Amino acid sequence: MHNASMAIQITIRNVPEPVRNELAIRAAQKRQSMQEYLLTELERLARRPSVESWLREVRERKQVASRDLSPTLILKHRDTDRR
């Protein structure tokens, strides 16, 4: 994904030392440079929907389904699945 287009640089300033150290440890554990590790994590983050868009999608699906389930019914189905 990251080689598909012209590279853009991002600079993050004022990273606390403990955060930098933890990221360096994680990168080393994966045998990656800090840049490789952070790029992989940024790509993973960018693929996921934001919390706001995920909640909006859930609300839209709930509205389409327009079913209200009582807590009792939910627990009954849960208990049925456990048998």
Whether residue 29 sits in one domain with residue 57: no
pLDDT digits (tens, 9 = 90+) for 9-44: 999 999 999 999 999 999 999 999 999 999 999 999
pLDDT digits (tens, 9 = 90+) for 37-72: 999 999 999 999 999 999 999 888 888 877 777 888
Structural domain harbouring 68:
51-83
Whether residue 79 sits in one domain with residue 66: yes
Q: How confident is the model at residue 3 (pLDDT cuts 50, 70, 90)?
A: low
Closest CA to 39 of 15, 8, 13: 8
Report the amino acid identity of residue 52.
E
Q: Say what the pLDDT of residue 79 is.
A: 86
Q: How many domains does the chain have?
A: 2
Whether residue 43 sits in one domain with residue 8: yes
Angle at which helices 17-29 and 34-47 cross, to 10°: 90
* Predicted TM-score of the model (pTM): 0.61
Q: Say what the pLDDT of residue 14 is.
A: 98
